[in-house]
Structure 1
């Protein structure tokens, strides 16, 4: 990777109002969390935009059952304005969707990087919080999108492969982007307390094996758990937000608690 594209923390990442929702591997419910968290934050009075930063393999439109005529690809190529690309999602928040199958976005180029920063800077004054729904893993595109965020939320499940990949992602973020902390959301937990225990185990591994310039490993902040819940699959298959499809389900209530914690500890001036 060239020095010009090395994914260090970008100067645009100056505010906690930009939050990257990411994961070490796919299939852990990252986009589901992003969409439903956006709806929950909107209900709390926040002006929320979800930007589909999974360039080339976008699926936020599928989760929300949206069929956009204008996408982020059109904005990047100058065929449309940002205002033309922003649409309202069920749940009341705004979304800026990326086009699927765009091979040109499988690698980060200076042009894509510059357009991404330009678009994001233009959005910041208009919203209280911008959620970046990134791709999974540690590709150049994913790491660059994360570098634009003041806060990182990693979604993982209790499965060993998910935790191994989450550890790898956190290690990269700690060493390359000098992240001081990362917030953890453990999805599909079986018992109360499982997620906090998993976060603690990951922290022990980081403490032992990952060293940073400061001598202190990245600190994992356990944001919360989302319990395994059959209503999630039903909502996903119906392409509906769980908060609208079944607002009193265990998973929907857990996401509402996550939104409450983010609102009170991240989006407030004295948030941790």
Structure 2
């Protein structure tokens, strides 16, 4: 788990305090918008909850939040109210369809579109209070490499980059991975390819990106960058239908190809990333 900074006094140095969750904190991010990042976050959360895990999704896209739209929720209290001290964290957490919890951000919060000291400190305070109470916390970040997005990603022990097979998406995914390696010194990043046209497309894409990273980014042979293909989500008409109806696909059409792929992604995530629960 990445260390985080807790604020001291005006003249005091920041103190490194490791977050020690019961499970993992996973950032789900992307190089560009429109690739299905929030769709993946919500449905992966539902799949993990179905497998018996306590899951929270935090909408970390502080400026253009839309997790509430995907889940058809109308929150009375948002992350903005917690940041400003108008509400407590537990008052802002609500149950989503699919059996997981969410902490929603308000859309259009211009004051949170850049990383100020106040935004950083508020975010750290909230994360420190949330993490111990869940098996897995998914951070649905904004797209791109703004300072707010990169800060949210820095709090995660694992990162999933969601991309589609389109050249613009892959170019932006590569740029994002390059920044995460350079600024956050990450050596392992996980890939999910959404809207895959054929089985195996995602693995081929991941292999191609790995080759580019090996050639242009990996400078230390002793510390190679590993790009791990976690799975593909096939192009599926059920996805668009679920989004238009503001329904979780894992609930509305659990037997469709895309939903089955998400279920497999949750299983692989559980087996390779999550902390094992001790046996009774």
**TM-score over 0.5 (shorter chain):** yes
For residues 71 and 46 of structure 1, do their structure 2 counterparts lie closer, same or farther at Cα, with a shift above 3 Å needed? same
Shift of 1:113: 0.4
Shift of 1:216: 3.4
Structure 1 range deviating more: 215-224 or 85-94: 215-224
Q: Structure 1: where are the runs of 5+ without partners?
A: 5-9
Q: Secondary structure at the match of 1:221?
A: strand
1:218-233 → structure 2 map (5 Å cutoff): 218-233=225-240
Q: Does residue 40 of the first structure (1) align with residue 41 of the second (2)?
A: no
Q: Give, in whole Å, the separation in 1 of the partners of 2:125 and 2:249.
A: 33
Q: Which of 185, 205, 211 lines up with 1:178 in the alignment?
A: 185
Q: Does residue 261 of the first structure (1) align with residue 268 of the second (2)?
A: yes
Q: Which residue of 2 aligns with 1:164?
A: 171
For residues 187 and 12 of structure 1, do their structure 2 counterparts lie closer, same or farther at Cα, with a shift above 3 Å needed? farther
Q: Which residue of 2 aligns with 1:107?
A: 114
Q: Does residue 145 of the first structure (1) align with residue 141 of the second (2)?
A: no
Contact 2:94-2:102 at 8 Å conserved across structures: yes
For residues 157 and 11 of structure 1, do their structure 2 counterparts lie closer, same or farther at Cα, with a shift above 3 Å needed? farther
Q: Which residue of 2 aligns with 1:77?
A: 84
Query: Which aligned segments of 4 or more residues in structure 1 are displaced greater than 2 angstroms?
Result: 10-16, 211-217
For residues 99 and 224 of structure 1, do their structure 2 counterparts lie closer, same or farther at Cα, with a shift above 3 Å needed? same
Q: Does residue 116 of the first structure (1) align with residue 152 of the second (2)?
A: no
Q: Give, in whole Å, the separation in 2 of the partners of 1:213 and 1:118.
A: 35
Aligned residues: 262
Contact 1:170-1:182 at 8 Å conserved across structures: yes
TM-score after normalising by structure 2: 0.90
Q: Structure 2: where are the runs of 5+ without partners?
A: 6-15
For residues 151 and 13 of structure 1, do their structure 2 counterparts lie closer, same or farther at Cα, with a shift above 3 Å needed? farther
